[in-house]
C-alpha cells in the first residue's frame, strides 16, 4: 500500500502518528522558507508541510505543480493555535513531510479543479475526467452509486432476482428510433439496442422468475434534452401474480428507501394517487409538480354570458374556458405578455387572454369586457388563489389545448416567479390513464398511450369495440417534482386480448407475428398475470442531487447533438470493417 490513511480522515486524535498519504496536489503555497501543499483525494483534503531543514526534500518541491500525483510519509502534528482552519475537516492538523515520491506530473489543466468553475460545459465535457475530479461531481457520482446500491439492497430484500436481459436484441419498429448494430454473420441483418427490456422481462415471468429487476442501460435514437440522453439507465422490474396496488406499493417504498439512503429525506408513503383526468384538468399536465401552489380552474360554466365574445363563442362551440392566476405576474410588462402570447400560439392556442388582479380588482387585458356577475363568479371560483398582484391567464379552446397551454404556463412562470419550494419534494402517482391516444397520422387513428402490452381496465374491455378512446389502462406513472421518474402497468396475459389490441392499433396478425411473435408464442405455454414498472434512474439521481441536467449525474454523457466530446464518438470506421459487415456508406450527394 502506498498510503496508510486517506486525505479526509486525519484529525487531532492522530497527532504524533507517522502516516503515509497519497493524492493530487490541490494548492501550493510557497513562503520561501516554509511550503504548504493541500493534498486532495476522493475523501477530502489535508495540508502537508515542507520545512527547509530537510534541504534535499525541499529542493524536490521545486518541480511540483497543481494536479501532480504524489505520495508522502510524514508525522501528524497539531497546527499552531492561530493557524488552524475551522473551515477544513482536517484543519486542526498538518503532516510534516519526511519523504516524498512523485508518482506523476500534470500539465496545466484546462480549468481549475475547484467546487465552482466558470468553464463552459463544452470544455468540461472534452476533459470530463478532470471535471469529474471536482468535488461536486464526485458527490453526484457518489449519490448515484448510493442510489444504485440502495435499490439493490431493497429489491434483494423483497425477494427479487437481478437478471440480465440481452443488449443485442431484435429490432422493434414501434416507439422510438432504434440504434442498430450490423450482424457480421448475417449480412444485411441487424441487431437493435433495446429501448427497454420490456418484452424480455415479460418472458422472464413466463420463465417463472416471479420477481425480476435490473439496472439496465436503454438506448433511444431520438433528439436530446436536458433530461434526455440517447443511452440512459432504468431500474427495470417485473412481478408475477400482482395487482396494480402491489407494484405501486413496492415502487413507492423503493423510492422512499432511496431518498432516505442517499439524502436522509423522508418521503411519506403511501403517495397520493391522482387520476389522469384530474391532473390534466387541474394542472394541465400528466406530470404535475405539486410544489407549485397555483391550480387551473375550469370556468366554462360561468363563461357563457361573461361579456367577452371569444369565451362565449368557445362555450357555444362546446370548448372550455379555464383560468390560471400566477402570483406576482401583475408586474409583467406589456412586452412580456406579448412574448407569452407568442409562446401560447406556438403551443397551439389562438391567443392568450390576460387580466391583472390588484387591490382595485380586475384590471387591464380583457377585464373591461367582464360583466359584474362574471367578476363575482370568478372570485368565488378562485377563492384564496385570487391574490392582489396576480396575473390571470385565460385559455379558451378545446380541453386538450387549454390544458397544454395553461399547464406549461404554470410550470414555466412558477419557476420564473420563484413560486416553487425547492427544499421539498412532490411525489405522487398518476393513475387511470387512457389506454389509447388519438393520432390522426396513423391509419388506425389511435396509438397506445403507454405500450401495446398494457392491460385495459377489466370493466372497460367492452368499450374496446365501441369507444376505444374511453378505455382506461392499468397503468401508473410516478411523478417527482414535475418529472416522470417511473412508469409501469399490469400487462396483458391473455393472447386473445393481446391480438385484439394489436388489431385496434393497426398491427395485423402477420405484423404481430413478425414483430412480437416470440412473446405471443411464449404466452402459449402458461403465462402468469404480471406487471411491473421502470424508473428513469438518471432523472431520479438528477432530483436527488438537485442537478438541472441529466448530464451532471452521468459520468460520460453525450452532447445535444448526441456525440461524446471526450472520446470523439461517433467516429468514422475503417473500410475493412464496413466490408466485413457488408455495409457501404452513401454520401449525401449520391442520394
Partner RNA sequence: GGGGUCGUGGUGUAGCCUGGUGAACACGUCGGCCUGUCAAGCCGAAGAUCGCCAGUUCAAAUCUGGUCGACCCCGCCA
- Give residues in contact with RNA (CB under 7 A): 27, 29-34, 36, 38, 47, 49, 51-52, 65-66, 79-80, 82-85, 87-88, 91, 94, 108, 110-112, 117-123, 125, 172, 174-177, 195-196, 198, 220, 222-228, 346-347, 447-452, 549, 551, 559-561, 563, 565
The residue (of 282 and 449) whose beta carbon lies closer to RNA is: 449
CA distance 557 to 543: 17
90 DSSP assignment? T
The residue (of 192 and 382) whose beta carbon lies closer to RNA is: 192
**Contact between residue 433 and residue 450 where contact means Cβ atoms under 8 Å apart:** yes
Tell me the closest approach of the beta carbon of residue 317 to RNA, in angstroms: 24
Please, what is the angle between helix 509-522 and helix 198-206, to 10°?
Answer: 50
CA distance 101 to 434: 66
Tell me the closest approach of the beta carbon of residue 221 to RNA, in angstroms: 9
The residue (of 87 and 574) whose beta carbon lies closer to RNA is: 87
Tell me the closest approach of the beta carbon of residue 406 to RNA, in angstroms: 14
Burial of 29 per CB tally in 10 Å (0-12, 13-18, 19+): exposed
Tell me the closest approach of the beta carbon of residue 569 to RNA, in angstroms: 11
Tell me the closest approach of the beta carbon of residue 135 to RNA, in angstroms: 13
* E-only strand ranges, 491-572: 530-536
Tell me the closest approach of the beta carbon of residue 183 to RNA, in angstroms: 22
**Contact between residue 211 and residue 246 where contact means Cβ atoms under 8 Å apart:** no
- CB burial readout 533-551, b (16+ within 10 A) else e: bbbbbbbbbbbbbebeebb
The residue (of 377 and 559) whose beta carbon lies closer to RNA is: 559
212 DSSP assignment? E
Tell me the closest approach of the beta carbon of residue 477 to RNA, in angstroms: 12
Beta carbons within 10 angstroms of residue 568's beta carbon: 9
Tell me the closest approach of the beta carbon of residue 371 to RNA, in angstroms: 36
The residue (of 171 and 269) whose beta carbon lies closer to RNA is: 171
Tell me the closest approach of the beta carbon of residue 264 to RNA, in angstroms: 27
The residue (of 29 and 42) whose beta carbon lies closer to RNA is: 29
DSSP labels for 48-73? Answer: EEE-TTSHHHHHHGGG--TT-EEEEE
The residue (of 267 and 566) whose beta carbon lies closer to RNA is: 566
Beta carbons within 10 angstroms of residue 580's beta carbon: 12
271 DSSP assignment? P
CA distance 552 to 538: 9
Tell me the closest approach of the beta carbon of residue 284 to RNA, in angstroms: 13
The residue (of 362 and 393) whose beta carbon lies closer to RNA is: 393
The residue (of 380 and 548) whose beta carbon lies closer to RNA is: 548
Strands 427-431 and 44-50: unpaired
The residue (of 97 and 256) whose beta carbon lies closer to RNA is: 97
In whole angstroms, what separates CA 586 from the centre of its chain? 36
**Contact between residue 394 and residue 322 where contact means Cβ atoms under 8 Å apart:** yes
**Contact between residue 71 and residue 21 where contact means Cβ atoms under 8 Å apart:** yes
- CB burial readout 105-122, b (16+ within 10 A) else e: eeeeeeebbeeeeebeee
Amino acid at each position: 500500500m502506498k498510503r496508510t490513511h486517506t486525505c479526509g480522515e486525519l484529525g487531532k486524535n492522530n497527532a504524533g502518528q507517522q502516516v503515509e498519504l497519497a493524492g493530487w496536489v490541490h494548492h501550493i503555497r510557497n513562503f520561501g522558507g516554509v511550503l504548504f501543499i493541500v493534498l486532495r483525494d476522493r475523501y477530502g483534503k489535508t495540508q502537508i508541510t515542507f520545512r527547509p531543514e530537510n534541504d534535499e526534500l525541499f529542493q524536490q518541491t521545486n518541480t511540483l505543480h497543481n494536479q501532480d500525483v504524489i505520495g508522502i510519509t510524514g508525522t501528524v502534528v497539531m497546527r499552531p493555535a492561530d493557524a488552524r482552519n475551522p473551515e477544513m475537516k482536517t484543519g486542526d492538523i498538518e503532516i510534516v513531510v519526511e519523504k516524498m515520491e512523485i508518482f506523476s506530473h500534470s500539465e496545466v489543466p484546462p480549468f481549475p479543479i475547484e467546487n465552482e468553475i466558470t468553464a463552459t460545459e463544452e470544455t468540461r465535457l472534452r476533459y470530463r475526467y478532470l471535471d469529474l475530479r471536482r468535488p461536486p461531481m464526485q458527490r453526484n457520482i457518489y449519490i448515484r452509486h448510493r442510489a444504485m446500491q440502495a435499490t439493490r439492497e431493497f429489491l434483494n430484500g423483497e425477494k427479487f432476482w437481478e437478471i440480465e436481459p440481452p443488449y443485442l436484441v431484435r429490432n422493434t419498429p414501434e416507439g422510438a428510433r432504434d440504434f442498430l448494430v450490423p450482424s457480421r454473420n448475417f449480412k444485411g441483418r441487424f441487431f437493435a439496442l433495446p429501448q427497454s427490456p420490456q418484452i424480455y422481462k415479460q418472458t422472464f415471468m413466463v420463465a417463472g422468475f416471479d420477481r425480476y429487476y435490473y439496472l439496465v442501460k436503454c438506448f433511444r435514437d431520438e433528439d436530446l434534452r436536458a433530461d434526455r440522453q440517447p443511452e440512459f439507465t432504468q431500474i427495470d422490474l417485473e412481478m408475477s401474480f400482482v395487482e396494480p396496488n402491489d407494484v405501486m406499493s413496492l415502487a413507492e417504498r423503493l423510492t422512499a428507501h432511496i431518498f432516505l439512503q442517499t439524502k436522509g429525506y423522508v418521503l411519506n408513503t403511501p403517495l397520493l394517487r391522482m387520476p389522469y383526468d384530474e391532473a390534466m384538468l387541474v394542472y394541465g399536465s400528466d406530470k404535475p409538480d405539486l410544489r407549485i401552489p397555483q391550480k387551473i380552474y375550469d370556468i366554462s360554466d360561468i363563461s357563457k354570458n361573461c361579456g367577452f365574445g371569444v369565451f362565449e363563442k368557445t362555450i357555444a362551440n362546446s370548448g372550455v374556458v379555464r383560468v390560471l392566476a400566477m402570483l406576482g405576474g401583475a408586474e409583467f410588462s406589456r412586452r412580456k405578455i406579448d412574448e407569452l402570447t407568442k409562446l401560447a400560439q406556438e403551443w397551439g392556442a389562438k391567443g392568450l387572454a390576460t387580466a391583472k388582479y390588484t387591490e382595485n380588482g380586475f384590471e387591464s387585458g380583457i377585464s373591461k369586457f367582464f360583466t359584474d356577475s362574471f367578476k363575482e363568479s370568478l372570485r368565488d371560483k378562485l377563492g384564496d388563489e385570487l391574490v392582489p398582484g396576480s396575473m390571470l391567464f385565460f385559455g379558451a379552446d378545446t380541453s386538450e389545448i387549454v390544458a397544454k397551454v395553461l399547464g406549461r404556463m404554470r410550470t414555466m412562470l412558477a419557476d420564473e416567479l420563484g413560486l416553487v419550494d425547492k427544499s421539498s419534494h412532490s411525489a405522487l402517482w398518476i393513475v387511470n390513464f387512457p389506454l389509447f391516444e388519438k393520432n390522426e397520422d396513423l391509419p388506425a387513428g389511435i396509438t397506445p398511450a403507454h405500450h401495446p402490452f398494457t392491460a385495459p381496465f377489466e370493466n372497460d374491455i367492452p368499450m374496446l369495440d365501441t369507444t376505444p378512446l374511453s378505455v382506461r389502462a392499468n397503468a401508473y406513472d410516478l411523478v417527482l417534482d414535475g418529472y416522470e421518474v417511473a412508469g409501469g402497468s399490469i400487462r396483458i396475459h391473455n393472447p386473445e386480448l393481446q391480438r385484439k389490441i394489436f388489431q385496434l392499433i393497426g398491427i395485423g396478425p402477420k405484423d404481430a407475428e413478425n414483430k412480437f411473435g416470440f412473446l405471443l408464442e411464449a404466452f402459449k405455454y402458461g403465462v402468469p398475470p404480471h406487471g411491473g414498472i421502470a424508473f428513469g434512474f438518471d432523472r431520479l439521481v438528477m432530483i436527488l442531487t438537485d442537478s438541472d441536467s441529466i448530464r451532471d449525474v452521468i459520468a460520460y454523457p453525450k452532447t445535444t447533438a448526441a456525440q461524446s466530446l471526450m472520446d470523439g464518438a461517433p467516429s468514422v470506421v475503417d473500410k475493412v470493417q464496413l466490408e466485413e459487415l457488408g455495409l457501404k456508406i452513401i454520401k449525401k450527394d449520391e442520394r
